[in-house]
Structure 1
Amino acid sequence: MASNRRSVLARLLGFTLLWLALASPRPAPAQDAASPIPAAEVAARTAEVAALLANVDTLSAPGPEMQAIEQELPELSKRIQDRWERLPRRLASDPSAPALQGLAVVWQTMRTQLNEWSETLEQRGTNLQRELKRLSDLDETWARSFKEIQGAQLPPQLIAEINGMRDAITAARTRVNSRLAEVLVLEYRVSVEKRRADQALALIAQARSELFNRLGVRNALPLWSPELWAKARGQFVTGFRGAGLRWWNAVAGEWEDQAKRVALHIFGFLALLAVLLQARRQVARWNASDRRAGVNWMLARPASAALALAVFASPWIYPTHSFAVFATSRFLSIFPAIRLLLALVPAGLSRSLYAFGAVLALDAVRPLLFPARDLEQLLLLVNLLAGGLLVGWMWWTTRRAAPDGQARLADGGPPDRPLALILAVTFLVAFVAGMAGYLQLTRLLATAAVRSAYAWLAIRVVVWLLLLLVAYVLWARPLGALASVQQNRAYVEKRAGLALTWIGFVTWLFVPLTAATISGDAIAFARTVLNAGFGWGAIQVTLGDVLLFGATAWAAFILSSAVRAMLEGDVFPRVRLAEGVPLALANLAHYAILLVGFVVAVTFLGVDLTKVTILVGAFGVGVGFGLQTVVNNFASGLILLFERPIRVGDVVQVGEIQGEVRHIGIRASTVRTWRGADVFIPNAQLVTEKVTNWTYTDRRLRIDLRITAATTSDPGRVKELVCGIARSHPDVLREPPPAAYSIGFGDSGLTFDLRVWTNRFERSDAIRSELAEAVSTALTEAKIGHTTVGGTTPGG
């Protein structure tokens, strides 16, 4: 039995293996990539190959990018060679940290350009190699086809066609090979320049590291050294002559290399001047009390503003500028900026501010003296001492001066006096360090202080320009014609000025960090802090997410307020809607924007909205019991807004409370009573309890005045008399007309009710009092005895 079972199992296993072998797909025989073309298809394939060759020529032809590389690479190579030859001398002159950073920026800019060219050439070479492979396969196919049909009796024209096609393919391959060789040569030249740029950046990084290691080392002669003064005297003439020559060569070279950018820069200055002149004519028609004083001051000096702003833009217009160009830009922009910033100081400090501008201007050109190291050191110390004393004097004077509109015209934002104090202290500390011979530390502190002061000038002017732009947009059409903008213009200008000033201050904080060449480290640290995560379970958020959440929620509030103001000021007054509908739509838009903003803010936190929905559903029951009153009031508020049983401005009575509805909110509504109290009534009470709305259909109110006359009085005469008095009152409506009714008689006399209508609901008590006095006087004059004149409001 066991042997039979083994035999059966062996047979089953054999059949299974055989079935699997038959069922498994067999690999198809490999097709020859270069299969010969049948003779019958030669004519048709010839046309296809001709079109293919034309396409290959088009694709392999050099495009605009290749032409630009061929034209610009020699110029860039020359500039790199020139800077490479000067780099050892520059590094040997013991440059400051900002100077090293400037060198690194220039070399990194050229390195970035070379990287872009290298990527373009690499992609170009890959495409040409692919086209070359296609041509090789095509040539092999036609070669095999020619070999196959050599023994066949074919027309000579067909053989000539095949030979011609092979010749065309060979010529195309030759052209592509030639273009590929050109690309490879360019790629090699670019790689050579990249290696040189990498070497330069490595040398600069090494010099920067050595510089920071030597900050605490005395590397220059102290100020009291006679040798320092003797060397400086010997370097005076040659130093200034060399500085002027270096400046002229750099500026002239920049003019030749970037003539188009220079023309664009000049055109930008003229265009900005024209815009400011036009803005001055336009703004002159506006109310001066509604505009910012700084904007007025700048518009009164359009040439200075345009020149300062145009020069401030130099680093972006000339991205590969030399230090001489940067120094020239600073020199040209300082005095126009000073002229604009006279608005920030009292009139007595204008000369001090101009003197400080001269300090900044001298510091802008001082680094050009770097070969004359001792002369440059003395000028640096003079600059630091003068700058520290001038800024300290201005700080002390403005501190003692009483704050007035002329002493400071910058509304809101960070104060200027603490910044001035920090600058003064930095100037003087740098002077003390330089006086003792710690030149590298002095240069680092001096550069941070000078660039911070220069950046303060630039940022203040730019902020004023942006404020001018905001004011112009808010006053000019189309926004200036909107009622919502006219009502909130002053508030928007004030908030915009505050926001722009703080943005400028935050931007200014990066300047001393950049001057100290630690901005990259500061940015990396800030990123680390913002990316620091915290949370619980699957929910993890970062500080950056929280800040983004807050910014989004704040933006949603701002947007909802703007939309609501525009709806109430410009849309609803032009659209005929039922009373109360505008308020409902405005509140609905407000809540919708806040809801969308909250959802977007939650997504920035990285929270899965599906999980949030589940959690809300889970906690909803428990929260519902705890906050059912709040939820009930919210739902009732929506009912009041859309069903509109009461509207803002209606006169209502809820229990003993009577007054005018002033506001319908989310949780409660505000009713202003006749005694001047604001009563907050929960919305649920207005929906579920009895509410009397005296002005639901119209604002007419009936006033009842009860009169008791003597028993002997003529009822008809009494009614005619009191109705005539009511008709003569200016606040009593003619329709329906006043009416008097006899409602009873007794021992005290005849009782009448005078019923009048008025649409002056707010004067109902006064109207009743005036009618009572007039009726009493008239009855007395008519010798009609009466005992009482009174009434209720409203009646019936």
Structure 2
Amino acid sequence: RQVSNTLKLLAKNPSMPELRDLESEWEVHESDLKAANDRLTALDSQRAAEQTSLDEQSKTWSATAAQEPAEIPTELQQSIAEVRASILELQKKEFDARGRILLAQTQVARAQTRVKSMLATVRRTRESKVERVFVRDGLPFWRFSLKDFLSGNWVGNLMVSLESDKDDLFVFAAANAEHFFLHCLSFLLVLAGLRWARVKIKAWSEQEPVLSRTLSILSAPVSTALLLTVFLTPLFYTRAPVLVVVGLAALALVPATMVLRRLLEPALYPLLNALIVLFCCDQMRQLSVSQAHFSRVLFLLEMAGTLVFLTWMRSRSRVSGHHRLRAACYLLSAIFSVALLGNLLGYLELSYWLGDGAIVSAYMGVFLYASLEVTSGLILFTLRVPPLSLLASVRENRHRFRSSVLHLVRFTAVLLWLVLTLDSMAILAPVSDFLSSILQGHIVLGALNFTLGGLFSALLVLWLTGRISRLSQYVLELDVFPRFQMERGVDYTLSTLMRYLILMIGVLFGLAAMGVDTTKFTIVAGALGVGIGFGLQNIVNNFVSGIILLFERPIKVGDLIQVGEQTGLLKQVGLRASVMRTTEGAEIIVPNGQLLSTQVTNWTLSDPLRRLHLDIGVAYGNKPRDVIALLLEAASQCGDVLPEPKPNVLFVGLGESSLDFRVQVWTKRSTTYPVLQSDLLLRLYEALEKANIEIPFPHRTITVDNWPEQEKSAPAGSATETP
């Protein structure tokens, strides 16, 4: 029946999409028969092994029975005879089973021959239609009269065609009742999930306006669930009849337009309405494809109406300022004009090829765009619920994750739209062959010989490896390592080594994708050795020093270090150099070799404690013990001063003008010690001022000899104070 239906369809001059679906159907049959043949072959091999085992057992028992009867007891002889009879019976069963398997293999082989023949016929028909695209294969439209159009019982033929499609629908429904039930169940589950998600999003959208777009999508849960369920159709059905395809297409287009009406501006609503009307006309034409004249008239009316609508949209977009929409209208107008003109002139294949291809492309574009918007909202929702919301890496970079995933989804949607468009126009295989021939072109650089496709594959592997390495390092640092008790710096070492390991594996896979021969690495290693001997000593030294810093960890990321006259926080230990950020905000690049070969002061190697000391002098006449008690009390009240080790005040000397004291305190804030120093000075000064303790100026005593005669009346030896 399938063969006869295919031959009838081929005799009716089917369209490109119908031939594509027919070819896919026979490819499924070919795949099923191949799988069946593989199963029969495996079963035959198993039966053959069992038959061989039975033959060996039969020989053994026959040799046993062939011995002298006097040497074997009567009871044992009877048992041997029974065993031989059982083996003989099993051998007959195995022989019959192998005969049935051989018969089934013969039938499968005949079916494979028929399927290959029909598949070759369909492919030849499709290729011939592609070759005859620019050939006039029909009469001009004005050659037909009304009598030719009305001749024949086209209404009756249409009803017969619909009856045949209805019978196919009943057969399909009976064979896929379980799949249909699962499809409906998936719709109900998706609908329930969307309703639950709508409640959650509605509560969150009041705090984050960015969720309003997602809420508008989930406000139509039935349409969104239908859209997602139709997207899952290939998981439930392999090949559906015409009426099922039409119904699924309607279920895809209607909810897609309803979802898009909530997202697009009102100026684009007529475009969605026109797509629905165009879909109805197109499906009517597909159902009447057996009636050539009627289908041709419908196609002409469809193209003419679309051109009128696009002209109106162009004028409207000129006023509203939608330049991209206007450009798309110009492109579609050109395609539909060529299709209309070709049909009028008799170039039927060309007109159907362009018209149907543009219509299918528009359908796929609307469906995928609506699916993309729904997917965007679901991704945003998924990032806000467990288990992803429990990850710190997701909570702190939710927008970055969403942006990265959406870029991937958009790229996939555009690629899928392009593939479906080319496939609907029956040029996917030629385009794929053309691109394959380009990608298989060889590039020779000295001893290296690789293809352009291998180069693209290597670049893709390296890009993916870089993204995966950064993601793994980020997840380890925020979600994995905080759950374990580790010494400071160990987490950075492990995450950095993990990143280098992933990058190294990516480089090896990239080279393998390029098809680089690993034996060539001996030449590279020799050249590298010569380069190291002459000019790469510093680079290798810094690289090895970086590895030593990661494993030995004399300095760790986050340490406050001093290199020469520069002091700052160590921010990063790289392969060649490390980055240090000073208190002034400058970032200094320090080679790793310098960190190992020169003296480096690490203020936070074993602990973050740091001691500060301030020298203070007070005027003579104050009691040192009272001053010490006052300074200790003021220092202890400073917030960042640690109680243990205790603050200490030392009486360090008798100065020329003051009693000198040294205040010593400890703090954990090594990186902000200048702030603590300022705060401590303020508290000490306020305490001394409150106690009326003077901080003296330096005093000098000057003795003047040989004073001039005219000034001898002045007291001799007077002294002055100068600061």
Smaller-chain TM-score range?
Answer: 0.7 to 0.9
Select the residue among 764, 768, 793 that pairs with 2:674.
764
Change beyond 3 A, Cα 1:774–1:241: same
Distance 2:353 2:505 in 1: 49
Conserved? CA contact 1:98–1:515, under 8 Å: yes
Conserved? CA contact 1:652–1:660, under 8 Å: yes
Distance 2:638 2:429 in 1: 82
Conserved? CA contact 1:312–1:458, under 8 Å: no
Which residue matches 2:19? 100
Which residue matches 1:211? 129
Change beyond 3 A, Cα 1:785–1:605: closer
Select the residue among 145, 148, 152 that pairs with 1:227.
145
Which residue matches 2:228? 309
Which residue matches 2:290? 371
Select the residue among 458, 462, 467 that pairs with 1:553.
462
Which residue matches 2:719? none
Instruction: Report the AA paired with residue 167 of structure 2.
Output: N
Instruction: Report the AA paired with residue 129 of structure 2.
Output: L
Which residue matches 1:36? none
Deviates more, 1:617-626 or 1:116-125: 116-125
- Do residues 658 (structure 1) and 577 (structure 2) align? no
What secondary structure sits across from 2:301 in the alignment? helix
Per the TM alignment, residue 441 of structure 1 is displaced from its structure 2 partner at its CA by: 0.8
Instruction: Report the AA paired with residue 743 of structure 1.
Output: G
Per the TM alignment, residue 739 of structure 1 is displaced from its structure 2 partner at its CA by: 2.0
Deviates more, 1:370-379 or 1:464-473: 464-473
Change beyond 3 A, Cα 1:129–1:392: farther
Select the residue among 613, 623, 630 that pairs with 2:539.
630
Instruction: Report the AA paired with residue 698 of structure 1.
Output: P
The CA deviation string for residues 280-322 of structure 1, in whole angstroms up to 9 with x for no partner, is 4455555674976665444332222222333344455332333
Change beyond 3 A, Cα 1:765–1:172: closer
Distance 1:561 1:592 in 2: 12
Deviates more, 1:500-509 or 1:212-221: 212-221
Conserved? CA contact 2:489–2:556, under 8 Å: yes
TM-score by length of 1: 0.74
Per the TM alignment, residue 698 of structure 1 is displaced from its structure 2 partner at its CA by: 3.3
Select the residue among 415, 438, 455 that pairs with 2:364.
455
Per the TM alignment, residue 353 of structure 1 is displaced from its structure 2 partner at its CA by: 0.5
Instruction: Report the AA paired with residue 253 of structure 1.
Output: V
Per the TM alignment, residue 352 of structure 1 is displaced from its structure 2 partner at its CA by: 2.9
Which residue matches 2:710? none
Deviates more, 1:256-265 or 1:187-196: 187-196
Distance 1:501 1:253 in 2: 38
Per the TM alignment, residue 501 of structure 1 is displaced from its structure 2 partner at its CA by: 0.8
Change beyond 3 A, Cα 1:472–1:162: same
Per the TM alignment, residue 155 of structure 1 is displaced from its structure 2 partner at its CA by: 11
Q: Structure 2 matches for 1:86-235, cutoff 5 A?
A: 86-117=5-36, 186=104, 189-190=107-108, 192-222=110-140, 227=145, 231=149
Select the residue among 421, 428, 432 that pairs with 1:519.
428
Which residue matches 1:268? 186
What secondary structure sits across from 2:561 in the alignment? strand
Instruction: Report the AA paired with residue 570 of structure 1.
Output: D
- Do residues 787 (structure 1) and 697 (structure 2) align? yes
TM-score by length of 2: 0.80
The CA deviation string for residues 520-560 of structure 1, in whole angstroms up to 9 with x for no partner, is 23333333333333345764322333233223222322222
Deviates more, 1:577-586 or 1:227-236: 227-236
Change beyond 3 A, Cα 1:281–1:210: same
Distance 1:92 1:780 in 2: 111
Which residue matches 1:33? none
Change beyond 3 A, Cα 1:149–1:397: farther
Select the residue among 339, 346, 352 that pairs with 1:430.
339
Q: Structure 2 matches for 1:363-442, cutoff 5 A?
A: 363-388=282-307, 390=309, 422-423=331-332, 425-442=334-351
Give the fraction of aligned pairs with identical amino acids, expressed as a percent: 28
Distance 1:281 1:459 in 2: 26
Which residue matches 2:713? none
Conserved? CA contact 2:640–2:676, under 8 Å: no
Conserved? CA contact 1:742–1:750, under 8 Å: no
Deviates more, 1:268-277 or 1:513-522: 268-277
What secondary structure sits across from 2:653 in the alignment? strand
Distance 1:785 1:106 in 2: 100
Select the residue among 348, 356, 361 that pairs with 2:275.
356
Select the residue among 167, 190, 193 that pairs with 1:249.
167
Conserved? CA contact 1:330–1:364, under 8 Å: no
Which residue matches 1:64? none
Per the TM alignment, residue 457 of structure 1 is displaced from its structure 2 partner at its CA by: 3.2
Per the TM alignment, residue 781 of structure 1 is displaced from its structure 2 partner at its CA by: 8.1
Conserved? CA contact 1:111–1:197, under 8 Å: yes
Change beyond 3 A, Cα 1:131–1:484: closer
Instruction: Report the AA paired with residue 304 of structure 1.
Output: S
The CA deviation string for residues 560-594 of structure 1, in whole angstroms up to 9 with x for no partner, is 22222222212333333333333223222222222
Instruction: Report the AA paired with residue 275 of structure 2.
Output: F
Distance 1:153 1:766 in 2: 110
The CA deviation string for residues 116-139 of structure 1, in whole angstroms up to 9 with x for no partner, is 445555676787789889999999
Change beyond 3 A, Cα 1:421–1:289: farther
The CA deviation string for residues 248-293 of structure 1, in whole angstroms up to 9 with x for no partner, is 2332232234333333333333333334334444555556749766
- Do residues 739 (structure 1) and 658 (structure 2) align? no
Distance 2:370 2:506 in 1: 34
Select the residue among 655, 660, 684 that pairs with 1:752.
660
- Do residues 502 (structure 1) and 401 (structure 2) align? no
What secondary structure sits across from 1:786 in the alignment? coil
Which residue matches 1:683? 592
Distance 2:321 2:191 in 1: 36
Conserved? CA contact 2:197–2:381, under 8 Å: yes
Per the TM alignment, residue 498 of structure 1 is displaced from its structure 2 partner at its CA by: 0.5
Change beyond 3 A, Cα 1:468–1:140: same
What secondary structure sits across from 2:188 in the alignment? helix
Per the TM alignment, residue 362 of structure 1 is displaced from its structure 2 partner at its CA by: 2.9
Q: Structure 2 matches for 1:690-729, cutoff 5 A?
A: 690-696=599-605, 697-707=607-617, 709=619, 726=635
What secondary structure sits across from 2:397 in the alignment? helix
Change beyond 3 A, Cα 1:330–1:159: same
Conserved? CA contact 1:280–1:299, under 8 Å: yes
What is the root-mean-square deviation in Å for CA atoms of aligned residues? 4.5
What secondary structure sits across from 2:470 in the alignment? helix
Distance 1:451 1:768 in 2: 74
Distance 1:632 1:120 in 2: 61
Per the TM alignment, residue 499 of structure 1 is displaced from its structure 2 partner at its CA by: 0.6
Instruction: Report the AA paired with residue 306 of structure 1.
Output: A
Distance 1:154 1:654 in 2: 100
The CA deviation string for residues 201-257 of structure 1, in whole angstroms up to 9 with x for no partner, is 444344334433432233345455662697169877446544543432332232234
Per the TM alignment, residue 369 of structure 1 is displaced from its structure 2 partner at its CA by: 0.4
Per the TM alignment, residue 385 of structure 1 is displaced from its structure 2 partner at its CA by: 3.6
What secondary structure sits across from 1:475 in the alignment? coil
Change beyond 3 A, Cα 1:163–1:450: same
- Do residues 574 (structure 1) and 483 (structure 2) align? yes
Select the residue among 485, 502, 511 that pairs with 1:602.
511
Conserved? CA contact 1:624–1:631, under 8 Å: no
Which residue matches 2:252? 333
Per the TM alignment, residue 195 of structure 1 is displaced from its structure 2 partner at its CA by: 4.6
Conserved? CA contact 2:16–2:353, under 8 Å: yes
What secondary structure sits across from 1:743 in the alignment? strand
Instruction: Report the AA paired with residue 605 of structure 1.
Output: M
Distance 2:631 2:73 in 1: 131
- Do residues 485 (structure 1) and 394 (structure 2) align? yes
Q: How many residues align?
A: 694
Structure 1 residue runs of 5 or longer lacking an equivalent are 1-78, 408-414, 790-796
Per the TM alignment, residue 609 of structure 1 is displaced from its structure 2 partner at its CA by: 4.2
Distance 2:628 2:616 in 1: 12
What secondary structure sits across from 1:602 in the alignment? helix
Change beyond 3 A, Cα 1:685–1:321: same
Per the TM alignment, residue 335 of structure 1 is displaced from its structure 2 partner at its CA by: 0.4
Change beyond 3 A, Cα 1:229–1:465: farther
Structure 2 residue runs of 5 or longer lacking an equivalent are 700-723
